Amino acid sequence: MKRNSTIIHYHPSVAKALKTKKPILALESTIISHGVPYPNNVKMALRLQEIALDHGAVPATIAIIKGKLHIGLTPREIEYLAKTKGVLKVSRPDFATCMALDLDGATTVAGTMIAADMANIKVFATGGIGGVHRGAEDSFDISADLTELSQTPVVVVSAGAKAILDLPKTIEYLETQGVPIIGYNTEEFPAFYSRSSGIRLYHKVTSAAQIAKIYKTHLKLGFNSGILVANPIPAKYEIPSSEIGKIINIAVKESKKHLVAKKDLTPFLLSKILELTKGRSLASNLKLVENNVMIGAQIAVQIAKEKV
Protein backbone atom coordinates (compact mmCIF):
# COMPACT_ATOMS: atom_id res chain seq x y z
CA MET A 1 0.00 0.00 0.00
CA LYS A 2 1.33 3.46 -0.87
CA ARG A 3 1.54 6.18 1.75
CA ASN A 4 -0.63 8.57 -0.24
CA SER A 5 -3.17 5.88 -1.02
CA THR A 6 -6.78 7.02 -1.03
CA ILE A 7 -7.69 4.26 1.40
CA ILE A 8 -5.72 5.96 4.16
CA HIS A 9 -7.51 8.77 5.95
CA TYR A 10 -5.32 11.26 7.81
CA HIS A 11 -6.80 13.33 10.61
CA PRO A 12 -6.18 16.99 9.59
CA SER A 13 -3.86 17.61 12.55
CA VAL A 14 -1.75 14.56 11.62
CA ALA A 15 -1.67 15.55 7.94
CA LYS A 16 -0.45 19.00 8.93
CA ALA A 17 2.19 17.64 11.31
CA LEU A 18 3.48 15.30 8.61
CA LYS A 19 3.76 18.13 6.14
CA THR A 20 5.56 20.43 8.57
CA LYS A 21 7.69 17.61 10.05
CA LYS A 22 6.33 18.15 13.56
CA PRO A 23 6.55 15.35 16.17
CA ILE A 24 3.80 12.72 15.95
CA LEU A 25 3.05 9.85 18.31
CA ALA A 26 1.12 6.78 17.13
CA LEU A 27 -1.33 5.10 19.54
CA GLU A 28 -3.00 1.72 19.15
CA SER A 29 -6.68 0.80 19.23
CA THR A 30 -6.79 -2.86 20.32
CA ILE A 31 -6.40 -1.51 23.83
CA ILE A 32 -9.61 0.50 23.17
CA SER A 33 -11.71 -2.27 21.60
CA HIS A 34 -10.30 -5.38 23.28
CA GLY A 35 -8.20 -4.28 26.26
CA VAL A 36 -10.12 -1.86 28.47
CA PRO A 37 -13.90 -1.98 29.07
CA TYR A 38 -16.36 0.77 28.10
CA PRO A 39 -16.57 3.63 29.15
CA ASN A 40 -13.07 3.64 30.67
CA ASN A 41 -11.63 2.95 27.22
CA VAL A 42 -13.05 6.22 25.83
CA LYS A 43 -11.74 8.25 28.74
CA MET A 44 -8.35 6.59 28.42
CA ALA A 45 -8.05 7.14 24.66
CA LEU A 46 -8.97 10.83 24.95
CA ARG A 47 -6.64 11.33 27.88
CA LEU A 48 -3.73 9.69 26.02
CA GLN A 49 -4.23 12.05 23.09
CA GLU A 50 -4.14 14.99 25.52
CA ILE A 51 -0.96 13.79 27.20
CA ALA A 52 0.78 13.44 23.84
CA LEU A 53 -0.20 17.01 22.95
CA ASP A 54 0.89 18.31 26.37
CA HIS A 55 4.33 16.83 25.72
CA GLY A 56 4.71 18.28 22.25
CA ALA A 57 3.54 15.48 19.93
CA VAL A 58 0.46 15.28 17.73
CA PRO A 59 -1.40 12.06 18.64
CA ALA A 60 -2.26 9.65 15.84
CA THR A 61 -4.56 6.93 17.17
CA ILE A 62 -4.77 4.25 14.50
CA ALA A 63 -7.75 2.07 13.55
CA ILE A 64 -9.75 0.83 10.58
CA ILE A 65 -13.28 2.20 10.41
CA LYS A 66 -15.62 0.74 7.81
CA GLY A 67 -12.66 -0.30 5.69
CA LYS A 68 -10.75 2.97 5.85
CA LEU A 69 -7.40 3.12 7.62
CA HIS A 70 -7.49 6.11 9.94
CA ILE A 71 -4.28 7.77 11.10
CA GLY A 72 -5.62 9.94 13.92
CA LEU A 73 -9.14 9.65 15.32
CA THR A 74 -11.76 12.20 16.33
CA PRO A 75 -13.52 11.82 19.72
CA ARG A 76 -16.58 10.51 17.83
CA GLU A 77 -14.53 7.86 16.08
CA ILE A 78 -13.01 6.82 19.39
CA GLU A 79 -16.48 6.51 20.94
CA TYR A 80 -17.58 4.39 17.96
CA LEU A 81 -14.64 2.01 18.27
CA ALA A 82 -15.04 1.79 22.03
CA LYS A 83 -18.71 0.80 21.81
CA THR A 84 -19.06 -1.22 18.64
CA LYS A 85 -19.25 -4.99 19.01
CA GLY A 86 -17.38 -7.30 16.68
CA VAL A 87 -14.48 -4.97 15.88
CA LEU A 88 -11.73 -7.17 14.39
CA LYS A 89 -8.35 -7.40 16.05
CA VAL A 90 -6.05 -6.38 13.22
CA SER A 91 -2.50 -7.60 12.93
CA ARG A 92 -0.44 -8.12 9.74
CA PRO A 93 -2.59 -10.93 8.25
CA ASP A 94 -5.87 -9.05 8.75
CA PHE A 95 -5.35 -5.65 7.07
CA ALA A 96 -6.35 -6.45 3.52
CA THR A 97 -9.48 -8.41 4.41
CA CYS A 98 -10.66 -5.87 6.98
CA MET A 99 -10.23 -3.02 4.52
CA ALA A 100 -11.47 -4.77 1.38
CA LEU A 101 -14.67 -5.88 3.08
CA ASP A 102 -15.30 -2.45 4.68
CA LEU A 103 -15.06 -3.84 8.23
CA ASP A 104 -14.04 -2.19 11.50
CA GLY A 105 -10.69 -3.13 12.93
CA ALA A 106 -8.65 -2.23 16.00
CA THR A 107 -4.91 -2.41 15.41
CA THR A 108 -2.63 -4.43 17.69
CA VAL A 109 0.95 -3.43 18.42
CA ALA A 110 1.99 -5.14 15.16
CA GLY A 111 -0.90 -3.58 13.23
CA THR A 112 -0.19 -0.12 14.62
CA MET A 113 3.52 -0.39 13.78
CA ILE A 114 2.64 -1.30 10.19
CA ALA A 115 0.24 1.64 9.81
CA ALA A 116 2.63 4.07 11.55
CA ASP A 117 5.40 3.04 9.19
CA MET A 118 3.12 3.53 6.14
CA ALA A 119 2.35 7.02 7.44
CA ASN A 120 6.03 7.79 8.13
CA ILE A 121 5.45 8.04 11.89
CA LYS A 122 8.51 7.02 13.88
CA VAL A 123 7.28 6.55 17.44
CA PHE A 124 4.42 4.57 18.97
CA ALA A 125 3.41 4.24 22.63
CA THR A 126 1.37 1.39 24.05
CA GLY A 127 0.88 -0.50 27.31
CA GLY A 128 2.38 -3.94 26.91
CA ILE A 129 3.47 -5.88 23.85
CA GLY A 130 2.35 -9.38 22.95
CA GLY A 131 4.92 -12.15 23.22
CA VAL A 132 5.60 -15.83 23.56
CA HIS A 133 2.70 -17.44 25.40
CA ARG A 134 3.28 -19.92 28.19
CA GLY A 135 3.27 -23.40 26.70
CA ALA A 136 4.27 -22.06 23.27
CA GLU A 137 6.43 -25.16 22.84
CA ASP A 138 3.14 -27.00 22.30
CA SER A 139 0.74 -24.32 21.03
CA PHE A 140 3.26 -22.35 18.89
CA ASP A 141 1.43 -19.23 20.12
CA ILE A 142 3.90 -16.40 19.59
CA SER A 143 2.49 -12.91 19.02
CA ALA A 144 3.06 -11.35 15.61
CA ASP A 145 4.13 -8.26 17.60
CA LEU A 146 7.56 -9.86 17.95
CA THR A 147 8.12 -10.53 14.25
CA GLU A 148 6.80 -7.06 13.44
CA LEU A 149 9.39 -5.57 15.79
CA SER A 150 12.02 -7.42 13.77
CA GLN A 151 10.97 -5.90 10.43
CA THR A 152 9.38 -2.49 10.93
CA PRO A 153 11.55 0.48 11.97
CA VAL A 154 9.34 2.13 14.60
CA VAL A 155 10.26 2.96 18.21
CA VAL A 156 7.75 1.16 20.46
CA VAL A 157 7.43 2.44 24.02
CA SER A 158 6.00 -0.18 26.37
CA ALA A 159 5.99 -1.20 30.03
CA GLY A 160 7.40 -4.55 28.93
CA ALA A 161 4.92 -7.39 28.75
CA LYS A 162 2.47 -9.06 31.10
CA ALA A 163 3.49 -12.18 32.94
CA ILE A 164 0.53 -13.93 31.25
CA LEU A 165 3.39 -14.62 28.81
CA ASP A 166 6.59 -16.58 29.15
CA LEU A 167 8.79 -13.52 29.61
CA PRO A 168 12.22 -15.23 29.36
CA LYS A 169 11.17 -16.85 26.05
CA THR A 170 9.79 -13.51 24.82
CA ILE A 171 13.16 -11.86 25.45
CA GLU A 172 15.05 -14.74 23.83
CA TYR A 173 12.83 -14.50 20.76
CA LEU A 174 13.44 -10.75 20.43
CA GLU A 175 17.16 -11.31 20.81
CA THR A 176 17.14 -13.96 18.08
CA GLN A 177 15.22 -11.57 15.83
CA GLY A 178 17.76 -8.82 16.47
CA VAL A 179 15.40 -6.37 18.14
CA PRO A 180 17.17 -3.84 20.38
CA ILE A 181 15.53 -3.57 23.80
CA ILE A 182 16.40 -0.38 25.64
CA GLY A 183 15.62 -0.01 29.34
CA TYR A 184 14.44 3.48 30.20
CA ASN A 185 15.90 4.16 33.63
CA THR A 186 16.00 0.43 34.28
CA GLU A 187 18.34 -2.50 33.84
CA GLU A 188 15.53 -5.04 33.95
CA PHE A 189 12.77 -5.95 31.55
CA PRO A 190 9.59 -4.70 33.26
CA ALA A 191 6.59 -7.00 33.68
CA PHE A 192 3.80 -4.50 33.01
CA TYR A 193 2.17 -4.32 36.49
CA SER A 194 5.51 -4.90 38.18
CA ARG A 195 8.74 -3.00 37.69
CA SER A 196 10.92 -6.06 37.67
CA SER A 197 10.92 -9.50 36.09
CA GLY A 198 14.37 -10.69 37.06
CA ILE A 199 15.41 -10.52 33.40
CA ARG A 200 18.43 -8.30 32.84
CA LEU A 201 18.66 -5.98 29.87
CA TYR A 202 21.92 -5.11 28.14
CA HIS A 203 21.13 -1.47 27.43
CA LYS A 204 19.90 1.30 29.69
CA VAL A 205 19.31 4.97 28.92
CA THR A 206 18.20 7.87 31.07
CA SER A 207 16.78 10.31 28.52
CA ALA A 208 14.51 10.57 25.50
CA ALA A 209 17.34 12.28 23.62
CA GLN A 210 19.50 9.16 23.98
CA ILE A 211 16.73 6.99 22.53
CA ALA A 212 16.34 9.39 19.58
CA LYS A 213 20.08 9.20 18.96
CA ILE A 214 20.10 5.39 19.12
CA TYR A 215 17.16 5.24 16.68
CA LYS A 216 18.83 7.58 14.17
CA THR A 217 22.07 5.61 14.38
CA HIS A 218 20.11 2.38 13.89
CA LEU A 219 18.57 3.76 10.68
CA LYS A 220 21.86 5.19 9.42
CA LEU A 221 23.38 1.74 9.75
CA GLY A 222 20.62 0.44 7.52
CA PHE A 223 18.81 -1.66 10.11
CA ASN A 224 15.13 -2.20 9.47
CA SER A 225 13.91 -3.49 12.81
CA GLY A 226 11.99 -1.61 15.42
CA ILE A 227 13.41 -0.60 18.78
CA LEU A 228 11.60 -1.68 21.93
CA VAL A 229 11.75 0.80 24.80
CA ALA A 230 11.04 -0.81 28.15
CA ASN A 231 9.67 1.81 30.53
CA PRO A 232 8.63 0.44 33.94
CA ILE A 233 5.34 1.40 35.61
CA PRO A 234 5.81 4.27 38.13
CA ALA A 235 6.58 2.72 41.55
CA LYS A 236 3.49 4.06 43.31
CA TYR A 237 1.15 2.28 40.87
CA GLU A 238 3.03 -1.00 40.81
CA ILE A 239 1.33 -4.28 41.78
CA PRO A 240 4.06 -6.56 43.17
CA SER A 241 4.58 -9.76 41.21
CA SER A 242 3.92 -11.82 44.36
CA GLU A 243 0.38 -10.45 44.27
CA ILE A 244 -0.45 -10.23 40.56
CA GLY A 245 1.37 -13.51 39.86
CA LYS A 246 -1.30 -15.53 41.66
CA ILE A 247 -4.07 -13.80 39.74
CA ILE A 248 -2.28 -14.38 36.43
CA ASN A 249 -1.88 -18.07 37.22
CA ILE A 250 -5.62 -18.39 37.85
CA ALA A 251 -6.39 -16.55 34.59
CA VAL A 252 -4.07 -18.85 32.63
CA LYS A 253 -5.69 -21.92 34.22
CA GLU A 254 -9.15 -20.65 33.29
CA SER A 255 -8.07 -20.09 29.69
CA LYS A 256 -6.93 -23.72 29.50
CA LYS A 257 -10.14 -24.98 31.06
CA HIS A 258 -12.21 -23.12 28.46
CA LEU A 259 -9.81 -24.03 25.62
CA VAL A 260 -9.29 -20.38 24.74
CA ALA A 261 -6.67 -20.00 22.02
CA LYS A 262 -5.33 -17.95 19.11
CA LYS A 263 -6.55 -14.34 18.82
CA ASP A 264 -8.94 -14.74 21.74
CA LEU A 265 -6.32 -15.77 24.26
CA THR A 266 -4.76 -12.39 25.10
CA PRO A 267 -8.12 -10.52 25.40
CA PHE A 268 -9.49 -13.38 27.54
CA LEU A 269 -6.52 -13.22 29.94
CA LEU A 270 -6.71 -9.42 30.15
CA SER A 271 -10.40 -9.39 31.02
CA LYS A 272 -10.00 -12.26 33.50
CA ILE A 273 -7.27 -10.34 35.33
CA LEU A 274 -9.50 -7.26 35.47
CA GLU A 275 -12.36 -9.32 36.85
CA LEU A 276 -10.21 -11.09 39.45
CA THR A 277 -8.61 -7.87 40.71
CA LYS A 278 -12.03 -6.15 40.77
CA GLY A 279 -10.70 -3.36 38.60
CA ARG A 280 -7.59 -2.58 40.63
CA SER A 281 -5.38 -3.70 37.77
CA LEU A 282 -7.19 -1.26 35.49
CA ALA A 283 -5.93 1.74 37.46
CA SER A 284 -2.33 0.50 37.16
CA ASN A 285 -2.86 -0.28 33.50
CA LEU A 286 -4.06 3.26 32.77
CA LYS A 287 -1.20 4.87 34.68
CA LEU A 288 1.50 2.90 32.91
CA VAL A 289 0.09 3.65 29.46
CA GLU A 290 -0.07 7.35 30.35
CA ASN A 291 3.56 7.17 31.44
CA ASN A 292 4.54 5.52 28.15
CA VAL A 293 2.70 8.16 26.13
CA MET A 294 4.59 10.89 27.98
CA ILE A 295 7.97 9.31 27.21
CA GLY A 296 6.86 8.45 23.67
CA ALA A 297 5.96 12.09 23.00
CA GLN A 298 9.32 13.22 24.38
CA ILE A 299 11.12 10.76 22.08
CA ALA A 300 9.10 11.98 19.07
CA VAL A 301 10.09 15.57 19.92
CA GLN A 302 13.78 14.59 20.10
CA ILE A 303 13.65 12.63 16.84
CA ALA A 304 12.02 15.58 15.06
CA LYS A 305 14.73 17.98 16.10
CA GLU A 306 17.88 16.04 16.78
CA LYS A 307 20.69 16.01 14.27
CA VAL A 308 23.00 13.03 14.65
Residues annotated as catalytic (active site), given as ranges: 28, 162
- Residue 28 touches which member of Mn ion, ligand PSU, none, C-beta under 5-8 Å by kind: ligand PSU
User: Based on CB atoms, which residue is closest to ligand PSU, 72 or 131?
Assistant: 131
- Residue 190 touches which member of Mn ion, ligand PSU, none, C-beta under 5-8 Å by kind: none
User: Based on CB atoms, which residue is closest to Mn ion, 145 or 238?
Assistant: 145
- Residue 127 touches which member of Mn ion, ligand PSU, none, C-beta under 5-8 Å by kind: ligand PSU
User: Based on CB atoms, which residue is closest to ligand PSU, 133 or 304?
Assistant: 133
- Work out how close the CB of 301 gets to ligand PSU at its nearest, in angstroms, rounded to a whole number: 25
- Residue 22 touches which member of ligand PSU, Mn ion, none, C-beta under 5-8 Å by kind: none
- Work out how close the CB of 141 gets to Mn ion at its nearest, in angstroms, rounded to a whole number: 4
Task: List contacts with ligand PSU (CB under 6 A).
Answer: 28, 30-31, 35, 108-109, 127-128, 130, 143-145, 162, 192, 263, 266, 270
> For the chain, what is the HEC assignment?
CCCCCCCEEECHHHHHHHHCCCCEEEECCHHHHHHCCCCHHHHHHHHHHHHHHHCCCEEEEEEEECCEEEECCCHHHHHHHHHCCCCEEECHHHHHHHHHCCCCEEECHHHHHHHHHHCCCCEEECCCCCCEECCHHHHCCECHHHHHHCCCCCEEEECECCCCECHHHHHHHHHHCCCCEEEECCCECCECCECCCCCECCEEECCHHHHHHHHHHHHHCCCCCCEEEECCCCHHHCCCHHHHHHHHHHHHHHHHHCCCCHHHHHHHHHHHHHHHCCCHHHHHHHHHHHHHHHHHHHHHHHHHHCCC
Binding mask 109-148 for Mn ion (x = CB under 5 A): --------------------------------x-------
Which residue number places its CB atom closest to ligand PSU? 130
- Residue 144 touches which member of ligand PSU, Mn ion, none, C-beta under 5-8 Å by kind: ligand PSU
User: Based on CB atoms, which residue is closest to ligand PSU, 44 or 297?
Assistant: 44
**Residues that bind Mn ion in the complex, under the rule CB under 5 A:** 141
